Amino acid sequence: MRKPLPEPWRVKVIEKVKVLTREEREKVLVDGGFSMFGIPSEAVYIDLFTDSGTSAMSDWQWGGLMQGDEAYAGARNYFHLKDSVEAVFGFPYFLPTHQGRAAESLFFSWLLHGKQGMKIPSNTHFDTTRANIEVNGGTCVDLVVDEARDATSEAPFKGNMDLAKLRRFFETTPKADIPVCMLTLTNNAGGGQPVALANVKATSELCKEFGVPLYIDACRFAENSWFIKQREEGQGHRSVADIALETFSYAEGCTMSAKKDGLVNIGGLFCTRDKDHLDVLTQRLLVVEGFPTYGGLAGRDLEAIARGLREVLDENYLAFRTGQVALFGEMLAERGVPFLKPTGGHAVYLDAGALLTHIPPQKFPGHALAIELYRDGGVRGAELGTAMFGDMDEATGEMTTFAPIEMVRLAIPRRVYTNDHLEYVADILGDIAKRKEELKGFRFTFAPKIMRHFTARFEEIR
């Protein structure tokens, strides 16, 4: 059988990477307190820490950088971006921000200002959204479908909102306490799983019935739209651009980190149909980000986003992109490395708990696997397990709650790595799986209360 179309681009510029020895990597780990955040990028051979802000831009985008108009007000690139936002999302109003969480901060600091007891439902809030809601006194309510919690279920839309749970939530919560409903496409915190178009529509209808505006977290909207085209009945004949437009037609607005499907290294957006929302947030933007025609970015960055938003809808690109993630999953399966099924849009989530059954959650199996992957292969992934999500008893240092699944996320940057790079990663993991009993657990030596995982330090329990 013929293989699917490989990369629909050719390489014009390369970035050299260093390859350290195992001994050098061991020293890097010790110096950085066994934290993945403590590893200098130059000591990493293949960096799968995040797909955010790590995309390779195209020659068209780089060309756009030279056409940056750095005027304080009314830069031409702002109007190009406005055209892209209208064409791709169909939203008439938008504000640029320096990244996704700045858009979330603007939105929630206004929406929740001076209010008590606000509750915001979502399929699953991403952690920056959660933090922005919680610091403003709100409560996050995750209502994703139950399949999302089953690591082996091959359900096609494990990111869907559970409509029965949402209805119950609306029926039992005073309307005045629900300022907005969010939907994260794809569901990053839930394994990068997509949300079906029918589910977006039904969520929107339910929101309308209860008078609650629906906003989308649009970070990976193009990947989500591609999955709809591939997996949802009756959608296969449509263009991804068309599916994306319909998706957003069900929402009042969106927040977006352009560092994902904007195919850029920095930038974010707040988009809306609601002129009142725009007007209040414009005032706030002026205080915290900048004038609304640049909003915390340079004109050249606006241009790169304007072009990236259009480029990301190229279906040959999306087929390659999601195909590469799926292929990586197949390579891991062949080597007996457990991961969450099916593979998501932007990452493979290893199931470290299933692999390292001799390391209890108390001793962070996800962290142990991530460390070994770096030590053995120079590959950086991110632990999304108990070290990140568990609650700790301050007095004893013992973990009192554990993550539901001990995951290590291997996020694939867009247009950066080849299938050979990923095969190398799969080989390293396959070797680790064969000698898994050698891996040891970890404990914290430093664990701050706020945003613990960024600055925590660990030691190996020998």
Residue number with the shortest CB distance to ligand F0G?
A: 100
**Contact indicator for 252, 278 with CB cutoff of 8 Å:** no
Rank residues 184 and 324 by Cβ distance to ligand F0G and give the closer one.
184
Letters for 174-213 (x = contact with ligand F0G by CB under 6 A, - = none) are ----------x---x-------------------------
Instruction: For residue 345, state whether it binds ligand F0G (rule: CB under 6 A).
Output: no
Stretch that binds ligand F0G, among 121-129, 353-361, 362-370, 439-447 (CB under 6 A): 121-129
Q: Any idea of the CA torsion for 149, 155, 159, 164, to the nearest 10 degrees? A: -80
Q: Binding residues for ligand F0G, how many (CB under 6 A)?
A: 15
301 binds ligand F0G (CB under 6 A): no
Nearest to 152 by CA among 104, 121, 191: 191
Distance CA 425, CA 339 (A): 14
Question: Do 337 and 355 meet the contact criterion of CB atoms below 8 Å apart?
Answer: yes
> Which 3 state secondary structure label does DSSP give 231?
helix
The verdict on 293 binding ligand F0G (CB under 6 A) reads no
Q: Per CB under 6 A, does 136 bind ligand F0G?
A: no
Tokens 């929740």 belong to which residue?
A: 112
Of 59-67, 95-103, 204-212, 357-365: span binding ligand F0G (CB under 6 A) = 95-103
Least CB distance to ligand F0G at residue 272 (A): 17
| By the rule CB under 6 A, 219 interacts with ligand F0G | yes
d(CA 245, CA 242): 5
Q: 50 vs 77, which CB is nearer to ligand F0G?
A: 50
Considering only the stretches 69-77, 124-132, 437-445, 449-457, report the one whose residues sit in contact with ligand F0G under the rule CB under 6 A: 124-132
Is the Cβ–Cβ distance between 378 and 19 less than 8 Å? yes
Residue of 93, 126, 215, 458 interacting with ligand F0G (CB under 6 A): 126
Q: To the nearest whole angstrom, how small is the minimum distance from the Cβ of residue 255 to ligand F0G? A: 7
**Which residues make beta-bridge pairs with 47?**
380
Q: In the bound complex, what is the minimum distance in angstroms from residue 150's beta carbon to ligand F0G?
A: 21
How far are the Cα atoms of 102, 152, 189, 350, 410 from residue 384, in angstroms, in the given order? Answer: 23, 17, 9, 10, 10
What stretches of 264-400 show up as alpha helix (H) in DSSP?
275-288, 299-311, 315-334, 352-355, 365-377, 386-389
User: Which residues in the 39-78 window bind ligand F0G by CB under 6 A?
Assistant: 50, 52
Say whether residue 124 binds ligand F0G (CB under 6 A): no
Q: Which of 152, 146, 227 is nearest to 185 (CA)?
A: 227
105 touches ligand F0G (CB under 6 A): no
Binding site for ligand F0G (CB under 6 A): 50, 52, 99-101, 126, 128-129, 184, 188, 217, 219, 257, 259, 268
